Amino acid sequence: MAKHSISESSEFVGEWHLSNGEAKKIAGTLSWSVRKAVLLLHDTFTPTRGKVYGDEQHAYPSIQGTTIDGKFVTMLWAHRLGNGFSFGPAGLRESERLRSSWVVVGAHVVPDSLYSEIRARIPVLQTWLCRSGVSQTMFSKTETTGAAMQYTFEGLAEELFAIPDQPIELGWGIDRNFNGDATTKITVTTSASLRIKSSQPQDLRWFFEQFNKAATLLSFITGSPMSTDHVSAKLAAGGDVDVLVALRESGVCAFADPHDFFMLRDDMNATVETVFSKWFGLFETIEMPSQLARSILSTENLWLHVEFLSLMQALEGFHRATMPGLYGSASEYDQVEKALNAALPSNIGTDHRQSLKSRIKYGNEISLRKRLKDLVTRLALPLRKHILGGDGDVPDRWIATRNYYTHWDDISHKDALDGIDMHHAHVRMRHLLRALYLDLVGIPQEAIGKSLTNSCDESQYLIQLNNSEFRKNNPNADVGAIMSIETGKPESPDKPST
Domains in the chain: boundaries: 10-46+58-105, 115-138+150-268, 284-473
The rounded distance, in Å, linking the Cα atoms of 78 and 210 is 23
**Amino acid code (one letter) for 327:** Y
Share of the chain above pLDDT 70, in %: 92
Quick one: pLDDT band at residue 163, thresholds 50, 70, 90? very high
The rounded distance, in Å, linking the Cα atoms of 314 and 429 is 10
**Amino acid code (one letter) for 22:** E
- CA–chain centroid gap for 193, Å, is 16
40-53 average pLDDT score = 77
The rounded distance, in Å, linking the Cα atoms of 99 and 75 is 9
Considering only residues 412 and 453, tell me which one the structure prediction assigns the higher pLDDT: 453
Phi, psi of 186 (to 5 degrees): -130, 130
Instruction: Give the per-residue pLDDT at 184.
Output: 82
Indicate whether 345 pLDDT > 70. Answer: yes
Quick one: pLDDT band at residue 496, thresholds 50, 70, 90? low
pLDDT tens, residue by residue, 321-333: 999 988 888 888 8
Instruction: Give the per-residue pLDDT at 137.
Output: 83
Instruction: Give the per-residue pLDDT at 252.
Output: 86
42-69 average pLDDT score = 81
Q: Chain-wide mean pLDDT for the chain?
A: 89
67-71 average pLDDT score = 95
Instruction: Give the per-residue pLDDT at 476.
Output: 78
The string of DSSP letters for 257-270 reads SGGGSS--GGGSSS
**92 membership: H or E segment, kind and range:** strand 91-100
Indicate whether 497 pLDDT > 80. Answer: no
Considering only residues 335 and 202, tell me which one the structure prediction assigns the higher pLDDT: 202
- CA–chain centroid gap for 255, Å, is 15
Query: Where is average pLDDT lowest: 143-152, 238-247, 340-349?
Result: 143-152
Instruction: Give the per-residue pLDDT at 56.
Output: 60
Considering only residues 42 and 34, tell me which one the structure prediction assigns the higher pLDDT: 42
Q: Which of 92, 30, 93, 91 is nearest to 60 (CA)?
A: 30
Indicate whether 148 pLDDT > 90. Answer: no
DSSP class of residue 122?
-
Instruction: Give the per-residue pLDDT at 67.
Output: 97
pTM beyond cutoff 0.85: yes
Indicate whether 404 pLDDT > 60. Answer: yes
Spatial neighbors of 223 by CB under 8 A, at least 6 apart, are: 261, 262, 263, 297, 434, 456, 458
Indicate whether 104 pLDDT > 80. Answer: yes
Q: Which of 371, 356, 364 is nearest to 332 (CA)?
A: 364
Instruction: Give the per-residue pLDDT at 261.
Output: 96
Quick one: pLDDT band at residue 220, thresholds 50, 70, 90? very high
Spatial neighbors of 201 by CB under 8 A, at least 6 apart, are: 114, 115, 116, 236
The rounded distance, in Å, linking the Cα atoms of 468 and 473 is 9
Considering only residues 116 and 179, tell me which one the structure prediction assigns the higher pLDDT: 116
Quick one: pLDDT band at residue 339, thresholds 50, 70, 90? confident
**Amino acid code (one letter) for 473:** N
Instruction: Give the per-residue pLDDT at 84.
Output: 67
Share of the chain above pLDDT 90, in %: 62
Q: Which of 306, 298, 299, 262 is nearest to 422 (CA)?
A: 306
> Radius of gyration over alpha carbons of the chain, in Å?
30
Considering only residues 147 and 478, tell me which one the structure prediction assigns the higher pLDDT: 147
Instruction: Give the per-residue pLDDT at 21.
Output: 75
Quick one: pLDDT band at residue 250, thresholds 50, 70, 90? low
429-453 average pLDDT score = 97
**322 membership: H or E segment, kind and range:** helix 304-322
Quick one: pLDDT band at residue 247, thresholds 50, 70, 90? confident
Indicate whether 398 pLDDT > 90. Answer: yes
Quick one: pLDDT band at residue 144, thresholds 50, 70, 90? confident
The rounded distance, in Å, linking the Cα atoms of 328 and 350 is 29
277-300 average pLDDT score = 94
Q: Which of 113, 119, 151, 156 is nearest to 3 (CA)?
A: 119
**Amino acid code (one letter) for 446:** E
